[in-house]
């Protein structure tokens, strides 16, 4: 019975020691391992990125050269349409169409008032009186600079 108690005590001690305190600082070996893993991952990522760029560089250069050469050829050989040629006597230019009357409901459409002259009124204007100004004109003298 005494041996059983010793085994139970050993198991109890091993359970207590199995707890890991993650709050304590890393040991030198753990720091070295972390640094080695970080270095391996950084160098591996750099090599993968370099390989990716080398693979893309050729296709990019080829596409760019094709676009430049194609553009140069298009500028040298501009397409030309000779038209229909002689269409006969039945084909002539049409008369220019007459513009339609402006709709009175059209936006920003205002009739323009012209100044009345003595001839328009049959000479009934009094001497010294001026006709009414056109819309947008002012009776004020122009401002001097």
Render pLDDT for 2-61 as a digit per residue (tens, 0 to 9).
555 555 555 555 555 677 777 778 788 888 999 999 999 999 999 999 999 999 999 999
- Confidence band of 128 (pLDDT split at 50, 70, 90): low
Query: Using CA atoms, how far apart are residues 9 and 17, in angstroms rounded to an integer?
Result: 12
Separation CA 16–CA 10 (nearest Å)? 10
95: pLDDT strictly greater than 80: yes
Dihedral, CA atoms, 4, 5, 10, 15, nearest 10 degrees? 100
Residue 70 in this model has a pLDDT that exceeds 80: yes
Window from 43-47, 54-58, 67-71, 131-135 with minimum mean pLDDT: 131-135
């Amino acid at each position: 019975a005494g041996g059983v108690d010793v085994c139970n005590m050993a198991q109890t001690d091993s359970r207590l020691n199995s707890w890991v305190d993650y709050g304590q600082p890393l040991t030198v070996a753990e720091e070295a391992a972390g640094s080695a893993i970080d270095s391996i991952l950084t160098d591996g990522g750099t090599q993968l990125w370099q390989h990716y760029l080398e693979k893309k560089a050729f296709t990019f250069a080829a596409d760019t050269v094709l676009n430049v050469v194609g553009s140069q050829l298009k500028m040298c050989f501009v397409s030309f349409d000779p038209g229909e040629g002689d269409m006969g006597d039945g084909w002539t230019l049409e008369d220019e169409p007459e513009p339609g009357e402006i709709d009175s409901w059209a936006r920003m459409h205002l009739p323009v008032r012209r100044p009345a002259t003595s001839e328009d009124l049959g000479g009934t204007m009094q001497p010294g009186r001026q006709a009414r100004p056109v819309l947008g004109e002012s009776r004020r003298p122009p401002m001097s600079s």
